[in-house]
Structure 1
Amino acid sequence: AYLDNGTARFIDAKHIKLPKLGIVRIAGFRKLIKERLLKQIPTRIGTVTIKKTADDQFYLSMQLGSDTAFVKELPKTQSQIGIDLNLDNFLTASNGAMVANPRFYRKTKKKLAHAQRVLSRRQRRAKKEGRNLRLAKNYQKQRLIVAKLHDKIRRQRNDFLQVLSTALIKNHDLVVAEELRNRNLLKNHALSQSISDVGWRSFLNMLAYKADLYGKEFLTIDPKYTTQRCHACGSIMGQNGYKKLTLKDREWTCPICRMPHIRDWNAAVNILEKGLSKWQNPKIKKAA
């Protein structure tokens, strides 16, 4: 059988048969599934999950298994890259490339805040009139508007992260990033909203699974001194009487070798150097 587990199976490209629900029409699915249906590649369906979102949309997810690989390994490029995640730009790479921070939440913030205020007013009105919120039509309409705005932000951010992570894995054999330690930053209210908006952790998770999927390497390294260290001579700011760099210091000159630096690019180069050392040392890599 093709795409079948005995209880759930695809009838055709637009219908799937599920236990208890019977035949269900689906609006669309990933290209990978369509190709397997057309080519009749034996594929096992594992766990099947149906999820209802806050905006009343239903999504079907499946765990698939097959003796035939789902994707082909990408060709080697002989290229390695280090990336520094930051708030001014989404990331700065060791090759000098910068990716702007799209700030999806901030772009929708005013519209979302207005929609939430309307929702709160309708909630108070319904409670004052003693109506069940589930039966309050105006409240439910506004709830869907708020949910759709949140979902729009989520989808925009996810699309951005998917495209960028795929491009990095496709074009480089090794991608190195610093370990994410944003717990303390999230305690800072001024930064917490921006950090939550960029989706760093989701991005690193995407890089990790895509590297494994396509036969590439993704490593994270200890971020210690990556910002303060001059990549040219190795001297570290904040030591030997030299002033430590702060978040305001976007550009600086090394007091030892006089090399001018752009803060985030210098950090990305240091991240790559640490990653290459870890990558080329099997003992370090295994312990990580």
Structure 2
Amino acid sequence: MKTMSELKYHYGLKMCIHPSTKQKQIIKMNSDVSRAVYNAMVAIDKELYQLKQVKLPIDMVQDRIKELEQRKKAQNHLANHYYYMNHPYIDSYCRNMAMRSYKAAWNMFRKVHNAGTPNFHKKTYEEKYQTSGTYKNKKPVNMWTGSIRFVDNKHINIPKLGIIRVSGSYRKLLDNKDDIRIGTTTISKNAFGIYYVSMQLGSNTPFVKELSKTNSQVGIDLNTDNFLTTSEGNVVANPRFYRTIKGRLAKAQRKLSRRQVRAKKEGRSLRDSKNYQKQRMVVSKLMNRVRNQRNKFLDEMSITLIKNHDLVVAENLRSKNLLKNHALAMSISDVGWRIFLQKLEYKAELYGKTFVTINPKNTTQTCNKCGHVMGTKDTDKLTLKDRSWTCPVCNTYHIRDINAAKNILDKGLEQLA
């Protein structure tokens, strides 16, 4: 039987689930165990690092190092050390996946170096744990036969949780394919109290059909004034979802802060303070609304570009660097450039289209007709205030963003040539 990585096509599926009260308790238990295992691995590595700084051959130190290294190797050592992890409601794969997540965090640190080393996971109002689907050799491998499986179009079965009702736009996927394998599965609850299940799906056949060719190419210029401008001259307005509720959110957060101060003065726990929890849900609801609006907008924009063009070219923007400009940090965070580029990338691959990113250097300052770069040859460099300009060499009138989008498309074509 092939592993998930050996399968040719992969797909991510996220659905809303509706667990019972008992199932919510089991999810919380597994989430707590997952966080405890991860934090135990962090603590073990920190202690090992400190012990290995001792250069003297002290027997007690060496014995402690051996004990910690044995406990680190397998989840059974942790389960034997912490007996509550052997509770019948605890999924054994939950402990194993927590250790894999810890190792993946270290691998990411070694590969990228700016991700940071693994730190302790604090207890929050959110809950999350991962498990993995398994299959028996005698049964066919599909989404109806594993330990994590679909019972019908409205229910799934998850180890320890049993059958749970789900809702989401997944029925077309189930009706069209019968060779889907379910891999890593994440059960989560957000701060607003909504439960989700996310599945990693694998198959040897495509999940969706490739879109027909349109013989169209487009370059897009992302900015804060407008969300994007295309090389064809189309302009998409910036919806500014966060700014529309900024005042309401600030008022709700001030009220939440006052209730927090009052609860602490009276010596009450925040988790037991009903007024604080009610106001926390109000704040979470507002933030969740902005998140959902932005995600829906970016989904619609990305799929529209992919469907209508064979090639989409964009700037390789580094949002982290741009956020250092405090005057634009709020606008850049609100617009969601990085998420938008990620959506374009995976949707282009999914539907058989091409998406490339280019170096944004001088895309705004260059005349698309003659190639003159502003800021050179005794010409002034364009500023953010200059929304339109005339080339001093060829006297061509440019609208700033459309000219930049055309330069982005030309750079993309050169990169692919």
TM-score (norm 1): 0.93
Q: CA deviation at 1:279?
A: 1.5
Equivalent residue of 2:199, what SS?
A: strand
Quote the residue 1:9 is aligned against: 149
Q: Is 1:118 paired with 2:258?
A: no
RMSD: 1.2
The alignment status of 1:139 with 2:276, answered yes or no, reads yes
Name the CA distance, whole Å, in 2 between partners of 1:10 and 1:82: 42
Q: Structure 2 residue aligned with 1:30, among 154, 160, 169?
A: 169
Q: What displacement does 1:40 show?
A: 6.0
Corresponding residue number in structure 1 for 2:330: 193
| Structure 1: stretches of 5+ with no match in the other structure | 281-288
Deviates more, 1:195-204 or 1:180-189: 180-189
Structure 1 Cα separation of the partners of residues 228 and 183 of structure 2: 37
1:156 aligns to 2:296 (yes or no): no
| Partner SS for 1:11 | strand
Determine the structure 1 residue equivalent to 2:51: none
Q: Which amino acid aligns with 2:153?
A: A
Give the drift of 1:181.
2.6
Change (3 A) 1:164 1:142: same
**CA-to-partner distance for each residue in 1:89-119, whole Å, 9 max, x for gaps?**
0001000000000000000101111110111
Corresponding residue SS for 2:414: helix
User: What SS does structure 2 have at the residue aligned with 1:108?
Assistant: helix
1:5 to partner: Cα distance: 5.7
- The SS at the match of 1:10 is strand
Partners of 1:66 and 1:226 lie apart in 2 by 41
| Letter aligned with residue 203 of structure 2 | S
Within the alignment, does 1:213 sit opposite 2:350 as a pair?
yes
Q: In structure 2, do the counterparts of structure 1 residues 39 and 216 end up closer, same or farther at CA, with 3 Å as the change threshold?
A: closer
Question: Runs of 4+ in structure 1 displaced over 6 angstroms?
Answer: none
User: Equivalents in 1 of 2:269, 2:223: separation in Å?
Assistant: 45
Bigger Rg, structure 1 or 2: 2
Q: Distance in 1 between matches of 2:416 and 2:217?
A: 11
In the alignment, residue 75 of structure 1 is paired with which amino acid? Answer: S
Q: Deviations over 1:39-65 (max 9, x none)?
A: 562211111111110101111000111
AA of the residue aligned to 1:152: R
TM-aligned CA distance change 1:37 to 1:248, over 3 Å: closer
Q: Which residue of 2 aligns with 1:259?
A: 396
- The answer (yes or no) to whether the contact 1:250–1:262 under 8 Å persists in 2 is yes
Q: Distance in 2 between matches of 1:163 and 1:185?
A: 25
Instruction: Name stretches of at least 5 consecutive residues in structure 2 with no aligned partner.
Output: 1-139
**2: CA distance between counterparts of 1:91 and 1:175?**
13
Aligned to 1:70: 207
Distance in 2 separating the partners of 1:220 and 1:91: 15
Report what 1:19 is aligned to: 159
Query: Partner amino acid for 2:377?
Result: N
**1:7–1:244 CA distance, 2 compared to 1 (3 A):** same
Q: Provide the aligned length of Structure 1 versus Structure 2.
A: 277
1:60-103 deviation digits (Å, cap 9, x = unpaired): 00011123311000001110000000011000100000000000
TM superposition shift of 1:225: 1.0
Contact 1:41 1:68 in 2 (8 A): no
Q: Please, which of 192, 196, 217 is the counterpart of residue 80 of structure 1? A: 217
Asked if 2 retains the 8 angstrom alpha-carbon contact of 1:5 and 1:46, the reply is no
Instruction: Encode CA deviations 1:118-148: one digit per residue, 9 max, x unaligned.
Output: 1101111111110011010110111011011
Match of 1:41 in 2: 178
CA contact (8 A) 1:226 1:267 kept: yes
